[in-house]
Amino acid sequence: MFSGSMVAIVTPFKNGEIDEKGLEDLIEFQINNGTKGIVPCGTTGESATLTHDEHKLVVELTVKKVDKRVPVIAGTGSNSTKEAIEFTQHASEAGADGALLITPYYNKPTQEGLYQHFKNISQNVDIPIVLYNVPSRTGVNMLPETVVRLSGFDNITAIKEASGSMQQVTDIIRFCGDSITLFSGEDYLTYPILAVGGKGVISVVSNIAPGEMSRMCDAFFEGEIKEACNLYYKLIPLCHAMFYETNPAPVKTALGLMGKISDEIRLPLCPMSVENIERLRVVLKEFGLI
């Protein structure tokens, strides 16, 4: 149902409020440059510091602006199962095509707790679910064995895998087969993940270079392996630059330097250091983005 390069889109702010026009412009920029899906309210969208009303507003605005041109996969995860169900039900009612659900953070559930969390959500919603495993953010790693168990639920269709472990990636693909579609959650691993059976990426870098990331995935699936590999190595400096400091500070700074939106982020994240902004500026210039 989902494939190719999808963007984990930022949430633009202006004077502390959601910049609705900025978000609409970014969505248009993405679709015009070949992005295959829009993912609002994820980590890159600063979901942790959005109020419930803001979260729902961003999902609604995204669905309306996209207007079925590409899939919308709304971030609806929480460390509260009840809250995750509420957000996911809202995304379904708003017209989203899928929901991205991060593993519960801070609680540090066991593998059985993770299974019960996602089982409960699955049984209370009818929208396709994309699991999201990112241990560096959450403090818990969902093991392949747990993903296999969850793949038995009809509406758990995919996983964004951001553990950074190719062994984990290959185990999920090997054990789940066609029952789970795997997407890269680490831009710098996208090409290797495609090579072992992944079906795309939910990308940070696509916020600033959507055409190149989309073309890399398309070229790979079209059998143009050399072109895909060349694009991958072209993108690598951007992949690393987006994590000079905590995401999404670098990508918002980059979008600000490109004149797309304000670089405003919410505390406890703060503006990048002058030194890292200059490092970022060099990479953006070399790529031709500024």
CB 108 within 8 A of CB 140: yes
Question: 188 catalytic, yes or no?
Answer: no
Determine how many CB atoms are found less than 10 A away from the CB of residue 191: 22
From CA 118, how far away is CA 257, in angstroms rounded? 39
| Catalytic annotation, pick one of 36, 65, 160, 252 | 160
Distance (Å, whole) CA 282 – CA 185: 25
The number of angstroms, rounded, from the C-alpha of 220 to the middle of its chain's C-alpha atoms is: 20
User: 102 is written with which tokens?
Assistant: 């991060």
Angle at 72 between CA 71 and CA 78, to 5 degrees: 145
Among 272, 273, 246, which Cα is nearest to 137's?
A: 246
Distance (Å) of CA 169 to CA 37, 39, 94, 166, 265? 21, 21, 32, 5, 32
| Catalytic choice (36, 56, 65, 132) | 132
Q: For residue 263, list its beta bridge partners.
A: none
Which residue has tokens 């979260």? 55
- Please confirm, yes or no, whether 64 is among the known catalytic residues: no
Instruction: State the amino acid at position 269 in one-letter form.
Output: L
Report which of 205, 117, 134, 129 is spatially closest to residue 168, judged by C-alpha positions: 134
Amino acid at 166: M
Q: Where are the alpha helices (DSSP H) in 33-51?
A: none
Catalytic positions are: 132, 160
